[in-house]
Amino acid sequence: MKRNMFRIALVPVLALVLLNCPSAPKAPEAVPEKPPEMPVPAPVPEKPPEKPPEKPPEKPPEKPPEVPVEKPKPVTETEIGAARAAIARAKEADAAYYEPQILKEAEEALKKALQVKEADPEGARRLLAEAKLKADTAFTGSVQKAAADLKSRMDRMAAQLRSSGAHRFLPGEYQDATAGAQEAESLYAQGNYSAAREKAYAALADMSRLNQRLGERLRWIDIQKRDINQELKDGIALQAQTRAPQHFERVNQLYLQGIEAFQAYRLVETEEALGAAREEGQEMLKVARSKESAEKSQAQSLMREVMKDLETASDLTVVTEDGTVIKPEPWQGESYIQEAPKQEENPSEPKKDTQSLLLHPQIPLPAKSILAGGEFLAVLGDVREENLLVQAKELWKQGVEEMNRGNYQLAEEYFKEAKRLVEAYRTQAVDADSPIYIVRLIPARRDCLWRIAEYKYIYGNPYLWPLIWRKNWKLIQNPDLIYPGWKLVIPPK
């Protein structure tokens, strides 16, 4: 307010000063009609708006004083070694497998740092710090992934040990081997990955060694079982039950002991029993083969002997008790020996018994009679009877087949029975020109067995008439009745 009043009072003063100034031109005087009135000053606001202060002109920036630039310190081998050590540690943790990309980035940063360490030490330091950081990241990630991987491997190995029965066959060793896995899991839970990794590798190695040892022992047991079974099979083929009965029984006892111990998870007892059974089996085979050799030699000798008897009997003419005449049929047994089937005996088939010899099928042939011209005529019609020589040959052939199967005792029984039959056959042999007497009708002296035997070209002794009757008994039902035209075989005395 005072400032405004000051301005109002200052106006007349300034006007007077301007009028009295000598340099100012004088204005023409005029007589105003009225004296001028003093102007009423305009109301002044209490506070006029302030103008923003004008910006002082900018002064050009002053040039800072030159400061001497210091050269950066060169990168030291210690700084480089720290990055290299971090990368090496990551590699030891298998970062190349678990974190290959991060490890590669760390190696590239180290490589660039080495390239610029002379020209740009500070840039090289930044690259070295990046390489170390990435290497540490790769190390941590690799340890964690490796720990999870190792845990999975340990779980699989422990399951494999249990499936092979390690916790039952070798409980103490199984407990020791799996204890390391439990410690490793505890270290994982604590976050101590490095120690957990080392413990996991150690536990995995222990379980692997245990699995290998148990596997070798179980494989040895399997081999022993297989070999003992083969020895028993060979022993049966060699008839060890009769040739080496004590050894055969002992092998079976030891084998069963071993199987029972194995089923009870007594590993040491199993190994001892099966080992003893294997040795006993070898002794059994040795004894059985020795006796087999003797039996084979004996059976072969008997086979040859009976074969010669059969060959001799095949050249004989035989008239059976029922009057059947059998013509000589030469036979050689050597060819059958060469061609006889050679096959191994099937253990599942029942053993042959010598009783089967008595059940051999009969091979009937038609009864025949020899006439003077070498022709054959039926004497007893269609009567059929067994042929002892044919049966003997068949039994001999079966004996040869049993020999080829290694059943020498059974073969010997066949040969013995064949020999008995061929000897019975030979007792019926007659000369090739044995007479055939045709009963005649003589009214004065009628034929009868007594008179026929009395003829000098027959026996010359009427008391030998039973020989004729027995030879022709199927034809002659009543020795007192014979009829003209009958053909009677006359056996030798």
71-122: pLDDT as tens digits: 778 989 999 999 999 999 999 888 999 999 999 999 999 999 999 988 899 9
Residues written for the chain? 493
As a whole number of angstroms, the distance between CA 479 and CA 467 comes to: 11
As a whole number of angstroms, the distance between CA 221 and CA 259 comes to: 10
As a whole number of angstroms, the distance between CA 270 and CA 263 comes to: 9
As a whole number of angstroms, the distance between CA 110 and CA 53 comes to: 59
Name which of 422, 472, 159 is nearest 320 in CA terms: 472
Contacts of 110 (CB under 8 A, 6+ apart): 80, 83, 84, 87, 127, 128, 131
Structure tokens at 381: 């019609």
> Phi first, then psi: what are they for 232, rounded to 5°?
-65, -40
Name the DSSP letter for residue 366: E
pTM beyond 0.75: no
Q: What is the pLDDT of residue 471?
A: 79
As a whole number of angstroms, the distance between CA 149 and CA 196 comes to: 12
Count Cβ atoms within 10 A of the Cβ of residue 492 and give its class: 0-12 exposed, 13-18 middle, 19 or more buried. Answer: exposed
* Cβ pair 127, 116 in contact under 8 A: yes
Q: What is the pLDDT of residue 357?
A: 36
**Secondary structure of residue 99 in the 3-state scheme:** coil
Place of tokens 């013509």: 327
Name which of 112, 180, 109, 190 is nearest 150 in CA terms: 180
The H helix count followed by the E strand count for the chain is: 16, 9
* Strand extents, DSSP E, 320-361: 325-326
* Cβ pair 327, 376 in contact under 8 A: yes
Q: What is the pLDDT of residue 49?
A: 54
Residue by residue, pLDDT tens for the chain (493 residues) are: 444 444 444 444 444 434 444 444 444 444 445 444 555 555 555 555 555 556 666 656 666 666 565 677 898 999 999 999 999 999 988 899 999 999 999 999 999 999 998 889 999 999 999 999 999 999 988 888 888 888 889 899 999 999 999 999 999 999 999 998 889 888 888 878 778 888 888 999 999 999 999 999 999 999 999 999 999 999 998 889 988 999 999 999 999 999 999 999 999 999 999 999 999 999 999 999 999 899 899 999 999 999 999 999 898 877 666 556 778 889 998 988 888 776 554 444 444 443 333 333 333 333 333 333 333 333 333 333 458 899 999 999 999 999 888 788 899 999 999 999 998 888 777 665 556 888 988 888 889 999 999 988 888 999 999 988 887 887 888 888 899 888 888 887 7
Looking at the DSSP bridge assignments, the partners of residue 366 are 384
Q: What is the pLDDT of residue 29?
A: 47
Helix, strand, coil proportions of the chain in percent (round to 5)? 60, 5, 35
Q: Interhelix angle for 267-314 vs 193-237, to 10°?
A: 20
Q: What is the pLDDT of residue 343?
A: 56
460-464: Cβ within 8 A, 24+ apart:
464/493
Name which of 184, 74, 199, 92 is nearest 136 in CA terms: 92
Q: What is the pLDDT of residue 427?
A: 75
Q: What is the pLDDT of residue 277?
A: 96
Place of tokens 């009543």: 478
As a whole number of angstroms, the distance between CA 269 and CA 250 comes to: 17
Q: What is the pLDDT of residue 105?
A: 94
Q: For 409-431, b where at least 16 C-beta lie within 10 A, e where not — what string?
A: bbbbbbbebbbebbeebeebbbe
* Strand extents, DSSP E, 301-345: 317-319, 325-326
H/E element holding 94? none
Q: Interhelix angle for 121-163 vs 171-190, to 10°?
A: 150
Rg (CA), the chain: 66
As a whole number of angstroms, the distance between CA 220 and CA 258 comes to: 13
133-152: pLDDT as tens digits: 999 999 988 888 888 888 88
As a whole number of angstroms, the distance between CA 34 and CA 366 comes to: 200
